[in-house]
Amino acid sequence: MSELDYLKRLHSAGRLSRRDLIGRALAVGATAPMLSGLLASADALAATEQGKPGGTLRLGLGGGSTTDSLNPLAANDSVMIDVLFGIFNGLVENAPDNRPVPELAEKFEPKPGAAEWIFTLRKGIQFHNGKEFDADDAVYSLNLHRGDTKSGAAGPMKAISDVKKLDKYQIQVTLAAGDADFPTILTDYHVMMVPNGFTDWAKPVGTGAFTLEAFDPGVRIALKKPGKYWKPDRGYVDTVEYNVINDTSARMNALISGQVDVINRADPKTVSRIEKSPTLEIVRAAGGWYPVMAMMVDRDPYTSLDLRQALKYAVDREQMIKTLFSGYGTLGNDHPIPRSDPYFNSELAQLKYDPEKAKFHFKKAGISDPKIVLQTSDAAFNGAVDMATLLQATAGKDDIPIQVKKESADGYFDNVWLKGSFVASYWGGRPAATQMLSIAYKSGAPWNESHWNNEKFDKLLADAQAETDEAKRKNSIWAMQELLRDEGGTLIPCFRDWLDAHSKKVGGHTPHSGFDMDNGRIAEKAFLKG
Amino acid sequence: MLKLVAQRFALGLLTLFAASVLIFAGTEILPGDLASAILQNNATPESLAAMRKELGLERPAYVRYGEWLGGVAHGNLGRSLANNRDVADEIAPRLKNTLFLALYAAIISVPLAVVLGLLAAIRQGGIYDRLVNVVTLMTISVPEYFLAYVLVKYFAVGLGWFPSLANVTSNTGLLERLNLTFLAMLTLVLVIVAYMMRMTRASVLSVMASPYIEMAMLKGLPKWRIVAQHAFPNALAPIINVIALNLAYLVTGVVVVEAVFVYPGLGQLMVDAVSKHDVPVVQACGLIFAGAFILLNMTADILAIMSNPRLRHPR
Amino acid sequence: MRLFGYKLNITATIGLAIIVLNIAAAVLAPLIAPHGQADIVGDAWADPSSQFWLGLDNLGRDIVSRLLYGARLSIGLSALITVLAFFIGIVCGFTAAAVGGWVDMLLSRVVDLLLSMPILISAFMVLSVLGTDLPVLVVTIALLNATLVFRLARAVAMNIAALEFVEAAKVRGEGLWWIISREILPNAVPPLVAEFGLRFCFTFLLIAALSFLGLGIQPPLADWGSMVKDYRDMINLDSPAPLYPAGAIALLTIGVNFVVDWMLSIHSKGHGEGA
């Protein structure tokens, strides 16, 4: 499904006005004749694309393990994310265009300075055990991720200094410093709303469309719909079956031979098999997931700006997208903000592969024996070794000698990432630009993999977070992207698209820049056409 | 004879104990631990510490080992660190699946390999011998996942004769189960038949060089009778050994095939547990694998001794 | 044609030709390969053309060149590892069988122990203790293989050690080494040679499997096993790419085993005539 298809669907679902549809279609490069066709087909779609209730949705998913648990605090990959979004809801949902929209909180507003936030909760929503969702549950659920916790969201949630109940349906969250993007942190898949005091994760109780039917981690998980769902336009199917299929080829084959209806992480190399099929289609979304090769700017030889620039020019970005992701990606400009983000700096010139400039800067750096060792492993992401090998080849063994070192797959994130001076890894992207920039680039941040330490940058970041004026925020965020492109230590050659695929009898499965499978919400959003 | 078996058994238990120590030591020196394996690049020092504390990882290794061994002695394998499920409950259905697939493949491959090997030995140098040779050599020189891909491509996606996923559940009936796991079984058979068949052939041929076979030849007995009655029984020891090694492979080494066919066996559990450092599960799986290996090797040893009259009655 | 004074049959001739060809390819790779093994010369998975006979690989490198360079690394490593494994395995296995008693028991239990450890755990243990260098890869795989060789060598030797002529040698007071080299080894050759032929080929695949975990071979070096692994998905697009490295391994395996079979046949004849 293309961007245009997606816009069409948004419009027909009533979530995009006709004017917005035209505006955004033009923005993604639609021409006038395309537009009129688009509008006509959008109207036709609005008539047919209605969610039909009933049936069993069979998912074939990579990203599951026999060690998976139903505790949202420990979720870390597709299968459990998709399962948890079936059982639970969050306070805030991340819309496909990366805006935070109300979910269990019907309203959220900052006080001036964006350090205090008031969340007004939806009334009359019941947990599966019959209890009504209220402020006590929300406070408990948020506090699960604060302080002494094993939550995967503990990092971003540290921004919170206090959570308190105002009345039965209202809570106040106080932050240590202003953050206009704070609600996006609550769209994190770890931050699910559970009943006050709940701990029995093996028998999860949430407010989601489904309840747990069978749980065989790493193999098969089944959810079923207990009754009416509180969201009128979600939760169509009666049962959802999650089949864990980690082998890419096996997943594709299961879809092609009809053993499952939807798969995530379609193999870009062989995706033409699906494109050729009359009964299957690809769901493609440009996203914020990116591979990165991070140089620590405070360690030799990477302290040399010229050396960093030499390597920036030595990356053949076009080729990386083509080779690593068969073209299913967008160009990166050595900063972590993807094109799909509203704060993407669209006027910043794109870095291009230029061996001459690379050689020039390398000579200028004047390091006789630089010993550039790029540490990598397919444990970082599938293709990390190829990425390093490509850089090695385009840098030229005689021009800029790079040694690629394949590290032990086991414990890669313990022993290599954040330890080595030049290391390949990846980021899943974050819903808010400021969030991504502060996690990985703020000086002293624990995951600042390039040891980026720049006063000007830190100032811009603080300004952007506390600022609620859109134009001023944009200026700061744009300036940070430029700084990183010119001087930063992270080589970010591209952003990878999310590639799902499904049988055409599945509807409601839309592309989402956040994560695969409709940002994990496939269970409540998809339906089976008659 | 009984004494010999008892002796071997005691030795086996001892080896098993040593294996448990080694496996525990192995999981201890693996870089990283469960906490960081789960959190990956979401880990903060605080969340790591909190998770480690909850998992009890901060206590000394020998204490945890002692507790675990005591538990095993009482039939309690502990709980998974990752999802707090009872390890025995988690392992039982998977062990059953693993043994089922191993048995399925063994029942077909062992007789097939022995017969093919004997025929090749009888017809040494003939067309049949060479043909079987080339075909089986080809099947073992490609990795098992590749064989699996090819089988799936033609028999599941192309012809649609068999399902590409072997996703059995505990409610799957026997016939359905045989059908679902057919391609997985076929892959394994192709992988091990060649090896066992060639070793059978070689061992028989080696015995064929002995003087008493020469004698039988001179007596004018037909070659198939010489092979079947004289050479084969005397060539059994290495053949049994190779069969035992291959059966052990079927129990412990089929993780790749499990992954391609999405078969819920023990191998995948072990790999996931190792990569997430879920020590109780690794230990339990390791112990089962070690037990299987030791049992099969022990059986092979005893059978080898029994098959050789000279070893059976040592002077 | 004759080799070591024995007449080569047709399959052995073919086998020998295959081996010689492979070794030649390995030795001459830098001279005959049209491109470097690391050179990116076009788009990933480009179709075969007059310039690139077998097309390009997943990163856009010439498959022919990578096969030739791969021969170098794969054959060299496999041969080294297998020889090392057989040396260790046979020496220990024969010693265990010939000496018996507690030596046999100790060696057998140690081997059982090593074998009973799941390979994944062994590999990770080695990795974390010894690192990921190439020599570590060689020693690791050699030891893993040596355990298997040990069991076979011991089983074969036990059979032989119980025979009269070995007993006689012991009674005569011959030394251990004499018994092993003069009595046991010649009679144990066939199963061991057959095992060698197979083990040699399995090693290609084991190298690829362990290389995936980060052990040993570093990019951009080519090895056949990893090439099969990298190309495997292409079989689903009807691309023959994965068949080239797989075919190379198969061809060499067949070649080696043809020669092995020939050696087995002279062995049985040799004995038949001599006895």
Q: What secondary structure, in 3-state letters, does A56-94 show?
A: EEEEEECCCCCCCCCCHHHCCCHHHHHHHHHHCCCCEEE
Higher pLDDT, B13 or A500: A500
The residue type found at C271 is H
Q: Which chains would you list as touching A if contact means 3+ CB atom pairs under 8 Å?
A: B, C
* Alpha-carbon gap: C40 to the closest alpha carbon of chain A (Å): 7
Q: Which chains would you list as touching B if contact means 3+ CB atom pairs under 8 Å?
A: A, C
**B–C: how many Cβ contacts below 8 A?**
189
DSSP, collapsed to helix, strand or coil, labels residue A291 as: strand
Q: What is the phi/psi pair of residue C260, to 5°? A: -60, -45
Q: Which residues from C are below 8 Å from A378, CB to CB?
A: 212
Between C124, C158, C190, which is nearest B202 by CB? C190
User: Can you tell me the distance from the alpha carbon of A207 to that of A134, in angstroms, rounded to the nearest whole number?
Assistant: 11
The residue type found at C76 is G
B-chain residue closest to C209, CA distance: B143
Please say whether the dihedral angle defined by the alpha carbons of residues A464, A468, A472 and A477, taken in this order, is positive or negative.
positive
Q: Which residues from C are below 8 Å from A323, CB to CB?
A: 43-44, 58-60
User: Can you tell me the distance from the alpha carbon of C69 to that of C27, in angstroms, rounded to the nearest whole number?
Assistant: 9
Q: Which residues from A are below 8 Å from B162, CB to CB?
A: none
* Axis-axis angle for helices A384-395, A305-314 (nearest 10): 100
Q: Indicate yes or no: CB of C58 within 8 angstroms of CB of A267.
A: no
User: Can you tell me the distance from the alpha carbon of A393 to that of B172, in angstroms, rounded to the nearest whole number?
Assistant: 51
Between A379, A386, A388, which is nearest C58 by CB? A386
SS (H, E, C) A362-410: HHHHCCCCCCEEEEECCCCCCCHHHHHHHHHHHHCCCCCCEEEEECCCC
Q: What is the DSSP letter of A96?
A: T
Pairing of strands A239-244, A56-61: parallel
**Quick check: B228 and B118 in contact, CB under 8 A?**
yes
Mind listing the pLDDT tens digit for each residue in B60-107?
778 878 887 888 888 788 888 777 788 888 899 999 999 999 999 999
Residue C274: band (very low, low, confident or very high) from pLDDT cuts 50, 70, 90: very low
* Helix residue ranges per DSSP H, A163-304: 182-185, 248-256, 272-276
Q: What is the phi/psi pair of residue A59, to 5°? A: -105, 140
The reported pLDDT for the residue numbered A497 is 94
Higher pLDDT, C42 or B47: C42
User: Can you tell me the distance from the alpha carbon of A399 to that of C199, in angstroms, rounded to the nearest whole number?
Assistant: 42
* Alpha-carbon gap: C53 to the closest alpha carbon of chain B (Å): 22
Q: What is the pTM of this model?
A: 0.85
Cβ of residue B210 closer than 8 Å to a chain A Cβ = no
Residue C193 has pLDDT above 80, yes or no: yes
* Alpha-carbon gap: C175 to the closest alpha carbon of chain A (Å): 46
Q: Indicate yes or no: CB of B270 within 8 angstroms of CB of C190.
A: no
Residue B55: band (very low, low, confident or very high) from pLDDT cuts 50, 70, 90: low
Pairing of strands A160-167, A498-503: unpaired
Q: Indicate yes or no: CB of B29 within 8 angstroms of CB of C129.
A: yes
* Residue C178, number of CB atoms within 10 A of its CB: 12
Total length of chain B: 315
* Alpha-carbon gap: A445 to the closest alpha carbon of chain C (Å): 29
Q: What is the phi/psi pair of residue A373, to 5°? A: -115, 120
- For residue A333, count CB atoms less than 10 angstroms from its CB and return exposed for 0-12, middle for 13-18, buried for 19 or more: buried
Between B140, B157, B199, which is nearest C191 by CB? B199
Average pLDDT over residues C143-160: 87
User: Can you tell me the distance from the alpha carbon of A496 to that of A367, in angstroms, rounded to the nearest whole number?
Assistant: 34
* Alpha-carbon gap: B183 to the closest alpha carbon of chain A (Å): 13
Cis bond upstream, residue B163 (ω within 30): no
The reported pLDDT for the residue numbered B32 is 60
Q: Indicate yes or no: CB of C112 within 8 angstroms of CB of B211.
A: no
Q: What is the DSSP letter of B79?
A: B
C-chain residue closest to A404, CA distance: C219
- For residue B88, count CB atoms less than 10 angstroms from its CB and return exposed for 0-12, middle for 13-18, buried for 19 or more: middle
Pairing of strands A105-110, A116-121: antiparallel
* Alpha-carbon gap: C106 to the closest alpha carbon of chain B (Å): 10
* Helix residue ranges per DSSP H, A152-283: 154-157, 182-185, 248-256, 272-276
* Alpha-carbon gap: C104 to the closest alpha carbon of chain B (Å): 13
User: What residues are paired with A285 via a beta bridge?
Assistant: A498
Candidates C127, C213, C239, partner chain A, best to mutate (most A CBs within 10 A) = C213
User: Can you tell me the distance from the alpha carbon of A205 to that of A224, in angstroms, rounded to the nearest whole number?
Assistant: 13
**Quick check: B290 and C117 in contact, CB under 8 A?**
yes
Q: Indicate yes or no: CB of B37 within 8 angstroms of CB of A69.
A: no
Token pair for B5: 């078996």
The reported pLDDT for the residue numbered B238 is 82
DSSP codes of every residue in B95-151: HHHHHHHHHHHHHHHHHHHHHHHHHHHHTTTSHHHHHHHHHHHHHHHS-HHHHHHHH
Cβ of residue B149 closer than 8 Å to a chain A Cβ = yes
DSSP codes of every residue in chain C: -EETTEE--HHHHHHHHHHHHHHHHHHHHHHH-SS-SS-B-SSTTPPP-SSSTT-B-TTSBBHHHHHHHHHHHHHHHHHHHHHHHHHHHHHHHHHHHHH-HHHHHHHHHHHHHHHHS-HHHHHHHHHHHH-S-HHHHHHHHHHHHHHHHHHHHHHHHHHHHTSHHHHHHHHHT--HHHIIIIIIHHHHHHHHHHHHHHHHHHHHHHHHHHHHTT-SPPTT---HHHHHHHHGGGGGGT--TTHHHHHHHHHHHHHHHHHHHHHHHHHHHHHHHH-
User: Can you tell me the distance from the alpha carbon of C200 to that of C193, in angstroms, rounded to the nearest whole number?
Assistant: 11
- For residue A364, count CB atoms less than 10 angstroms from its CB and return exposed for 0-12, middle for 13-18, buried for 19 or more: middle
What is the Cβ-side half-sphere exposure of residue A474, based on CA atoms within 13 angstroms? 10
Q: Residues of chain A whose pLDDT is less than 70? A: 1-50
Q: Which chains would you list as touching C if contact means 3+ CB atom pairs under 8 Å?
A: A, B
Pairing of strands A402-406, A372-376: parallel
Provide the b/e sequence for A137-157 (b: ≥16 CB within 10 Å): bbbbbbebbbeebbbbbbbbb
Residue C269: band (very low, low, confident or very high) from pLDDT cuts 50, 70, 90: low
* Alpha-carbon gap: A368 to the closest alpha carbon of chain B (Å): 34
Q: Measured between alpha carbons, how far apart are the two ends of chain C, in Å?
A: 26
Candidates B141, B149, B213, B214, partner chain C, best to mutate (most C CBs within 10 A) = B141
**Partner A, chain B 52-91, Cβ-Cβ below 8 Å:** 54, 80, 82-85, 90
User: Can you tell me the distance from the alpha carbon of C7 to that of B268, in angstroms, rounded to the nearest whole number?
Assistant: 50
**Quick check: B20 and B310 in contact, CB under 8 A?**
no
Average pLDDT over residues B163-179: 88
Q: How far is CA A46 from the centre of its chain?
A: 28
DSSP, collapsed to helix, strand or coil, labels residue A244 as: strand
A-chain residue closest to C209, CA distance: A409
Q: Measured between alpha carbons, how far apart are the two ends of chain B, in Å?
A: 14
**Most confident by average pLDDT, A66-70, B8-12, B304-308:** A66-70
Q: Indicate yes or no: CB of B137 within 8 angstroms of CB of C191.
A: no
Mind listing the pLDDT tens digit for each residue in A198-237?
999 999 999 999 999 999 998 999 999 998 999 998 999 9
Integer angstrom CA distances of residue A523 from A95, A146, A513, C259: 16, 28, 17, 60
Q: Indicate yes or no: CB of B237 within 8 angstroms of CB of C156.
A: yes
Q: Indicate yes or no: CB of B15 within 8 angstroms of CB of C201.
A: no
Tell me the percentage of chain B whose pLDDT exceeds 90.
20
Q: Measured between alpha carbons, how far apart are the two ends of chain A, in Å?
A: 20
Mind listing the pLDDT tens digit for each residue in B182-231?
999 999 999 899 889 988 988 888 787 777 777 888 888 888 888 888 88
Nearest to A157 by CA among A132, A126, A182: A182
Candidates C13, C105, C112, partner chain B, best to mutate (most B CBs within 10 A) = C112
Nearest to A285 by CA among A500, A62, A65, A8: A500
* Alpha-carbon gap: C27 to the closest alpha carbon of chain A (Å): 23
**Quick check: A207 and A227 in contact, CB under 8 A?**
no
**A–B: how many Cβ contacts below 8 A?**
141
Between B41, B43, B278, which is nearest A67 by CB? B278
Token pair for B12: 């086996």
Token pair for A240: 């959802």
Between A252, A323, A406, which is nearest C236 by CB? A252
Candidates A316, A323, A325, partner chain C, best to mutate (most C CBs within 10 A) = A323
Higher pLDDT, C236 or A263: A263
Provide the b/e sequence for B21-45 (b: ≥16 CB within 10 Å): ebbbebbeebbbbbbbbbbbbbbbe
Between A150, A417, A446, which is nearest B51 by CB? A150
The reported pLDDT for the residue numbered A1 is 47
* Residue A336, number of CB atoms within 10 A of its CB: 26
Q: Indicate yes or no: CB of A74 within 8 angstroms of CB of B82.
A: yes
Q: Which residues from B are below 8 Å from C190, CB to CB?
A: 202-203, 205-206, 209
The reported pLDDT for the residue numbered A44 is 46
